[in-house]
Chain A
Amino acid sequence: MIWVRKNLFSTPLNALFTVLSLTLIALMVPPALDWAVFEATWSGSNRQACAGRDGACWVFVKARFGTFMYGFYPDPERWRVDLAAIVGVALAAALIVPGTPRKGLIATAFVVVYPVLTYFLLLGGIFGLVPVETAKWGGLMLTLVVAAVGMAGSLPVGILLALGRRSSMPVVRGLCIAFIELWRGVPLITVLFMASVMLPLFLPGATDLDKLARALIGVTLFTGAYMAEVIRGGLQAVPRGQYEAAAALGLGYWSMMILIILPQALRAVVPGIVNTFIALLKDTTLVLVIGLLDLLGMIHAALADPNWLGFAAEGYVFAGVVFWVLCFGLSRLSLRIEAKVNADRRR
């Protein structure tokens, strides 16, 4: 009772705000719950199951769940996607959970072995696996592939650009600044258009680059430019004395950077890096403008199916829940890492 008075009704104005907020909640939450849960249809296999009900028709999502997750990846081969996902999640979890033994080994497996393995597992054509061309990839799987490749690729690109931007050589510095600012100055959609229209023009006439590969190059360079700015912040945060001490030890440029400066710089900007990852994960949805069907693209395409017209809200809410869980999870992870880094620094 005291808590209510102190936190909700301390002044007349506060009381007014409380009443307004309660009205807002009362107006929005019950109808939303009614639609999504109580009045919704959960079972059935076609749109007739939903006839005559006011709520959401989750049957639509259920019927199309396979394509939402895997795109047009052939049914009997979908275990390969599952396997790649499970191994990836297991390795990442082992790295995040504190106290796992042999973290160095796991990290090497995650960074070196896992990408190669996933590449062959998904693409096939080796060890007797049926080849699955990338045109059949889609849904959440494609979203995660684009995001993962973008994350893995943008880090080295960003590190090199950031080092170049802080280089003492004017030519290198100037070119890096121009590159970074050019990419940061234009929207991702232009970059994707460029990757799909102009990249083939840059290459000799006969070269035929996979559409997904073109998009991945565009996404990686775009994210790399943003990553470079985040990492530059970290480089600036490393005290001058560290550079001088490394130079006094007689270390060359690369050994100084790799052994002394970068470990400290990257550590300081982990939250910024994760935020860039979150932005990238959300931006993967843009690949649908060049005809790649990620999770949102698959849902968008399913909504044009004459059998399922009029279920836009259900489709987008489903996509929203999936993206929200992924992005919110990443942001919580970033907070945890930040707290840990701060705790280490205080020690």
Chain B
Amino acid sequence: MQRRWSDRRIKSVALQTVFLAAVVGLTAYAIDNIADNLRARGVGSGFDFLDATAGFKIGFLLIEYSELSSYGRAFVVGVLNTLLVSAIGIVLATALGFAIGLARLSSNWLVARLAGAYVEILRNLPLLLQIFFWYFAVLRALPGPRQSLELGGLGFLNNRGLYLTTPVPGEGGMLVLGAFVVVLVAGLVWWRRVRASGGNAPVGWYVAAAVVVVPVAVAFLAGFSMTWDRPALRGFNLAGGTALTPELIALVLSLSTYTAAFIAENVRGGVLAVARGQSEAAAALGLSRGQALRYVVVPQALRVILPPLASQFLNLTKNSSLAAAIAYPDLISVFAGTVLNQTGQAIEVIALVMAVYLTVSLTISAAVNLYNRRVTRA
């Protein structure tokens, strides 16, 4: 018995050693080849290139950047653009997904069927196809700046993008903003304390009212003025306001509608997983259908919905890399595209890109796990 046990142990150790040796050997071989190949092509190594001048333009910026900026700066621009698209997409997809998932469970036959059709159509079409459709067949096919579609004072839409009218705070703007933040924070603290002590006063409504009323009052007292920055035709294009490029709109639109179809299925599954007896018990207690949904079904369904929801958020973030196909300057298109082509430093570039996506993945899972723990504990 003793001997057999050690036999197996020796076998296992030997097997693992061989396996490890094979992996290490292959990796070493690959690295050796890479070094040879890169030397043959005259490509440098190390991360020094991040300080070199980039020398190319980027079409959509959240921070300052010019041709004279460094590759490192271009990297940051790419990361921020990726995060922007992912964040907007996640918010929109979650809202739309919950609405459609609940609509699929509606007792209204027509609403349920419409939501079902939405899910079946959207999730069985490749995302890239949807991005191309919105970008090339819809947004780029819009009339030019001179025949812009007017969106009732909100802004203009044409084949160069969406131009939104933007409020510009005048004097006292900071004061109003400050009042808004203070009231919001104080209100949330109060709301949590009341909830924690088990009271059910309509605190939420008080807070909502205060958040609106107090800043308006401050604005009056401080003599606050606000102007609107309206886009207007100047030369061949619109100027002023906030301009969103068609690439950004197409990407956000397709990412959120596509992911919403999957989130809707998760939501439906989660709600169906809550035992029927729960909603019957809620009805027996005299709760209305809405109250039953809000206080009984959804809190329990959330526990089932959250883990797959997290992976949908991850999918959306990873799918935002399809931006490269319509030249929205996200991390992939700026860094793994242009920078890689210019410097040739494939290893460093790909390693940085992978590091960013892995960091985002881990952050999202951590955030959802944290929320999950709170939901499960409650």
**Which residues of A are in contact with B by a Cβ distance under 8 Å?**
7-8, 10, 14, 17-18, 21-22, 24-25, 168-172, 175, 182, 185-190, 193-194, 197-198, 200-205, 278, 282-286, 288-289, 296, 300, 303, 310, 312-313, 316-317, 319-320, 323-324, 327-328, 331
Structural contact, A323 and B129, CB atoms closer than 8 A: yes
Q: Which residues of B contact A14 (CB under 8 A)?
A: 107-108
Give 25 A-B contacts (CB < 8 Å), ordered by A residue. Answer: A7-B109, A17-B106, A17-B111, A170-B16, A171-B20, A172-B16, A185-B357, A185-B361, A186-B358, A187-B322, A187-B332, A189-B324, A197-B350, A198-B346, A205-B40, A278-B124, A282-B124, A296-B129, A312-B140, A313-B137, A316-B132, A316-B133, A317-B133, A320-B133, A331-B124
A24-B324 Cα distance, complex, nearest whole Å: 34
Contact of A186 among B38, B141, B353 (CB under 8 A): B353
Structural contact, A296 and B126, CB atoms closer than 8 A: yes
Q: Which residues of B contact A303 (CB under 8 A)?
A: 136
Structural contact, A286 and B106, CB atoms closer than 8 A: no
Structural contact, B340 and A197, CB atoms closer than 8 A: yes
B15 to chain A, nearest CB (A): 7
Q: Assess whether B338 is interfacial by the CB under 8 Å rule.
A: no
A198-B351 Cα distance, complex, nearest whole Å: 11
A22 to chain B, nearest CB (A): 7
A288-B326 Cα distance, complex, nearest whole Å: 12
Q: Which residues of A contact B133 (CB under 8 A)?
A: 312-313, 316-317, 320
A175-B321 Cα distance, complex, nearest whole Å: 27
- Count of chain B residues near A, Cβ 8 A: 51
Q: Which residues of A contact B353 (CB under 8 A)?
A: 186, 190
- A323-B124 in contact given A194-B350, A198-B350 (Cβ < 8 Å): yes
Which residue of chain A is the closest to B354 with respect to CB atoms? A186
Q: Which residues of B contact A172 (CB under 8 A)?
A: 15-16, 19
Structural contact, A18 and B110, CB atoms closer than 8 A: yes
A59 to chain B, nearest CB (A): 17
A190-B110 Cα distance, complex, nearest whole Å: 42
Q: List B residues 87-129 near A (Cβ within 8 Å).
A: 106-111, 114, 120-121, 124-129
Q: Assess whether B37 is interfacial by the CB under 8 Å rule.
A: yes
Structural contact, B127 and A282, CB atoms closer than 8 A: yes
Contact of B129 among A22, A168, A319 (CB under 8 A): A319
Q: Knowing that A169-B15, A182-B354 touch, tell me 20 more A-B residue pairs with CB under 8 angstroms.
A: A14-B108, A18-B108, A18-B111, A21-B111, A22-B110, A25-B114, A172-B19, A186-B353, A186-B358, A187-B357, A193-B350, A201-B34, A201-B346, A296-B128, A296-B132, A312-B136, A312-B140, A313-B141, A320-B125, A327-B124
B25 to chain A, nearest CB (A): 13
Which residue of chain A is the closest to B29 with respect to CB atoms? A202
A169-B16 Cα distance, complex, nearest whole Å: 7
Which residue of chain A is the closest to B360 with respect to CB atoms? A185
Structural contact, A323 and B126, CB atoms closer than 8 A: yes
A168-B15 Cα distance, complex, nearest whole Å: 12
Q: Which residues of A contact B12 (CB under 8 A)?
A: 168-169
A211 to chain B, nearest CB (A): 16
A185 to chain B, nearest CB (A): 4
B326 to chain A, nearest CB (A): 11
Contact of B322 among A204, A286, A320 (CB under 8 A): A286
A310-B141 Cα distance, complex, nearest whole Å: 8
Structural contact, B34 and A202, CB atoms closer than 8 A: yes
Structural contact, B33 and A204, CB atoms closer than 8 A: yes
Q: Which residues of B contact A317 (CB under 8 A)?
A: 133
A310-B336 Cα distance, complex, nearest whole Å: 31
A316-B250 Cα distance, complex, nearest whole Å: 15
Structural contact, A316 and B346, CB atoms closer than 8 A: no
Contact of B33 among A21, A25, A190, A203 (CB under 8 A): A203
Q: Assess whether B242 is interfacial by the CB under 8 Å rule.
A: no
Please encode chain B, from 1 to 36, with 1 for each CB lying within 8 Å of some chain A CB and 0 for all others: 000000000001001100110010000001001101
Q: Which residues of B contact A175 (CB under 8 A)?
A: 19-20, 23
